[in-house]
């Protein structure tokens, strides 16, 4: 007997859920210090261009494949009649499982920090190493986060994922705006906004362009099968192109708003803008402490709750990918599939949890060619899944759509629910991007990353001759 897959009850529900998939720690945690390393506003300009030039067409393609087939990331390619290309789906499946295995650990850090800050323990920033080393405490928060994620996914699409998105996404925007309104009142806040908003294009180098390109692609959850899976629950009446544009706009908005929040905070305390991960978990708790006990608890607690919410919207979509695969391909009931997958991924994530001080072997897991220090296990998994599998998946999807599935079939799917798209400049651009721009740029990201990280060869420098 066929298992009912369910679907989104409204276009808004799909847009918020898909935007929630894209919005995550990468927007609020990673984007601000990528901007800091990239010289400020010039990086922001490049990032915005790549989001719409590169990422938007790939997003359209993933949603179109999912809606056309009404299947998961693996089954979609089989349903289209190209079983040999289902490897793209398996690659996305592996990416999602690996990313969730360590993403859940970082989400646990964020939630743990929320608990610490609201209980007045501002010194948690000075104890970051001790905190991440305490695998029992982190493990407890990690279990709590995974259970919450599994509960939502087990409730189905409209009853679980869509309901959660309709609550979490508006709340996330309200929290981030509240924090911005406070941050811009701080001393030197305007200097932070100037750094963030006034571009110095002399700062743009090939390395900055490459970083902006990678950040744009990774921040939109592309190449891991999440949007193929979400697209499979979309109504034939929905306009895929406008939906993808709105999802991209929401994701970009959260990242941009995060900058309005972070840089006034950073400049008010004279902190280095390229502080990396330590900026969030080591430095900011001290900033919140300087605001006084009551205000520090309110502002700091709100910040780490925001970070937890952003992580939660992404863990939901990451868990849905393998869950949908089991439901579609192996006819497992959704509730059983969800809890089994959640348990397996938690177990897979234990080495990542232990690789931040609890285990010396996992904390110094591997020394890659050309590296100055060894990578911990969690960073290595991130390198494999985030930096390698995702651009490879995006590259293969663009090649598949343009040269295997073919543009006329792709366009037929896009025009369902959007008859006015036929012959428009937007359809022409999406076709050109999928045929030329996306394969070239995503292929370049993949090659540069592999050659640099795994072989110690600075391919980008060789290409530009510097």
Mean pLDDT, residues 58-86:
96
CA angle 350, 353, 355 (to 5 degrees): 110
Concatenate the DSSP letters of all residues of 204-229 into one string.
--HHHHHHHHHHHHHHTT-SSSHHHH
* Top-level class of domain 11-464: mainly alpha
**What pLDDT score was predicted for residue 219?**
80
Q: Is residue 104 very low, low, confident or very high in pLDDT (cuts 50, 70, 90)?
A: very high
Per-residue pLDDT tens over the stretch 185-199: 989 999 999 989 988
Closest-CA residue to 106 (of 170, 189, 30): 30
Concatenate the DSSP letters of all residues of 11-38 into one string.
HHHHHHHHHHHH-SHIIIIIHHHHHHHT
Per-residue pLDDT tens over the stretch 388-437: 999 999 999 999 999 999 999 999 999 998 888 888 999 999 999 999 99
The rounded distance, in Å, linking the Cα atoms of 209 and 217 is: 12
pLDDT greater at residue 372 or residue 170: 170
Per-residue pLDDT tens over the stretch 319-338: 999 999 999 999 999 999 99
The answer for residues whose C-beta is within 8 angstroms of residue 349's C-beta and 6 or more apart is 100, 101, 102, 104, 105, 142
Per-domain boundaries in the chain: 11-464
> What six digits make up the tokens of 278?
């330590």
- Own/partner contacts of 296-304, CB < 8 Å, gap of 24 or more, are 296/117, 296/122, 297/117, 297/118, 297/120, 299/179, 299/182, 300/117, 300/118, 300/122, 301/114, 301/117, 301/118, 302/175, 302/178, 302/179, 303/179, 303/261, 304/110, 304/111, 304/113, 304/114, 304/117
The rounded distance, in Å, linking the Cα atoms of 244 and 56 is: 7
> At residue 90, what are phi and psi to the nearest 5 degrees?
-65, -35
**What pLDDT score was predicted for residue 265?**
85
Residue 12 has pLDDT above 70, yes or no: yes
Concatenate the DSSP letters of all residues of 66-127 into one string.
HHHHTS-TTHHHHHTT-GGGGHHHHHHHHHHHHHHHHHHHHHHHHHHHHHHHHTT-GGGGTT
> At residue 9, what are phi and psi to the nearest 5 degrees?
-85, -15
Q: How far is CA 56 from the centre of its chain?
A: 14
Task: Return the percentage of the chain with pLDDT > 90, whole number.
Answer: 70
Give bridge partners of residue 375 from the DSSP assignment: 366
Mean pLDDT, residues 103-123:
95
Q: For the chain, what is the radius of gyration of the CA atoms?
A: 21
Q: How many residues does the chain have?
A: 466
The answer for residues whose C-beta is within 8 angstroms of residue 413's C-beta and 6 or more apart is 64, 67, 68, 240
Question: Which secondary-structure segment (H or E) carries 261?
Answer: helix 240-268
CA angle 116, 122, 127 (to 5 degrees): 80
pLDDT greater at residue 265 or residue 143: 143
Concatenate the DSSP letters of all residues of 144-203 into one string.
HHHHHHHHHHHT-IIIIIIHHHHHHHHHHHHHHHHHHHHHTTSTTHHHHHHHHHS--GGG
Mean pLDDT, residues 241-270:
90
The rounded distance, in Å, linking the Cα atoms of 73 and 92 is: 7
Q: How far is CA 209 from the centre of its chain?
A: 19
Closest-CA residue to 461 (of 453, 452, 386, 450): 452
Average pLDDT, the chain: 91
pLDDT greater at residue 208 or residue 92: 92
The rounded distance, in Å, linking the Cα atoms of 368 and 372 is: 9
Q: Is residue 1 very low, low, confident or very high in pLDDT (cuts 50, 70, 90)?
A: very low
Residue 85 has pLDDT above 80, yes or no: yes
- Own/partner contacts of 326-333, CB < 8 Å, gap of 24 or more, are 327/3, 327/5, 327/72, 328/5, 328/71, 328/72, 328/74, 328/75, 329/72, 329/74, 329/75, 331/3, 332/3, 333/3
In angstroms, the Cα distances linking 314 to 61, 103, 374 are: 20, 9, 28
**What pLDDT score was predicted for residue 277?**
60
The rounded distance, in Å, linking the Cα atoms of 321 and 389 is: 15
> At residue 366, what are phi and psi to the nearest 5 degrees?
-150, 145
The sign of the CA dihedral 449, 451, 452, 455 is positive
């Amino acid at each position: 007997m066929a298992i009912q897959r369910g679907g989104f009850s409204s276009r808004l529900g799909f847009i918020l859920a898909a935007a929630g998939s894209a919005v995550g720690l990468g927007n609020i945690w990673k984007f601000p210090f990528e901007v800091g390393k990239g010289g400020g506003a010039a990086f922001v300009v490049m990032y915005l261009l790549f989001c719409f030039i590169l990422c938007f067409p790939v997003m359209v393609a993933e949603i179109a494949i999912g809606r056309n087939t009404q299947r998961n990331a693996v089954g979609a390619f089989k349903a289209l009649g190209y079983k040999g290309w289902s490897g793209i789906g398996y690659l996305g499946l592996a990416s999602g499982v690996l990313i969730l295995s360590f993403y859940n650990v970082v989400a646990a850090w964020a939630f743990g920090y929320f608990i610490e800050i609201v209980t007045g323990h501002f010194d948690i920033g000075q104890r970051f190493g001790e905190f991440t080393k305490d695998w029992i405490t982190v493990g407890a928060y990690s279990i709590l986060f995974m259970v919450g994620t599994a509960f939502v996914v087990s409730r189905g699409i409209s009853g679980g994922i869509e309901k959660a998105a309709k609550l979490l996404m508006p709340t996330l925007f309200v929290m981030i705006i509240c924090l911005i309104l406070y941050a811009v009142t701080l001393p030197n806040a305007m200097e932070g906004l100037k750094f963030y908003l006034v571009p110095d294009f002399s700062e743009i180098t090939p390395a900055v362009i490459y970083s902006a390109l990678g950040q744009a692609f990774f921040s939109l959850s592309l190449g891991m099968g999440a949007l193929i899976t979400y697209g499979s629950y979309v109504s034939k009446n929905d306009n895929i192109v406008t939906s993808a544009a709105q999802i991209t706009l929401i994701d970009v908005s959260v990242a941009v708003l995060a900058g309005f929040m972070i840089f006034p905070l950073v400049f008010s305390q004279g902190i280095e803008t390229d502080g990396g991960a330590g900026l969030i978990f080591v430095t900011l708790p001290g900033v919140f402490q300087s605001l006084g006990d009551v205000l520090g608890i309110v502002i700091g607690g709100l910040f780490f709750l925001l970070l937890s919410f952003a992580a939660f919207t992404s863990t939901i979509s990451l868990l849905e990918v393998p869950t949908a695969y089991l439901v579609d391909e192996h006819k497992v009931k959704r509730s059983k599939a969800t809890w089994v997958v959640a348990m397996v991924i938690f177990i897979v994530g234990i080495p990542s949890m232990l690789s931040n001080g609890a285990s010396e072997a996992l904390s110094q897991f591997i020394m890659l060619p050309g590296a100055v220090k060894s990578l911990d296990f969690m960073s290595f998994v991130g390198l494999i899944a985030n930096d390698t599998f995702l651009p490879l998946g995006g590259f293969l999807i663009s090649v598949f759509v343009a040269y295997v599935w073919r543009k006329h079939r792709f366009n037929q799917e896009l025009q369902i629910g959007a008859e006015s798209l036929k012959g428009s400049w937007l359809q022409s651009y999406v076709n050109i991007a999928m045929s030329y721009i996306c394969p070239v740029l995503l292929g370049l990201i993949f090659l540069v990353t592999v050659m640099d990280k795994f072989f110690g060869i600075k391919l980008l420098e060789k290409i530009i001759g510097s």
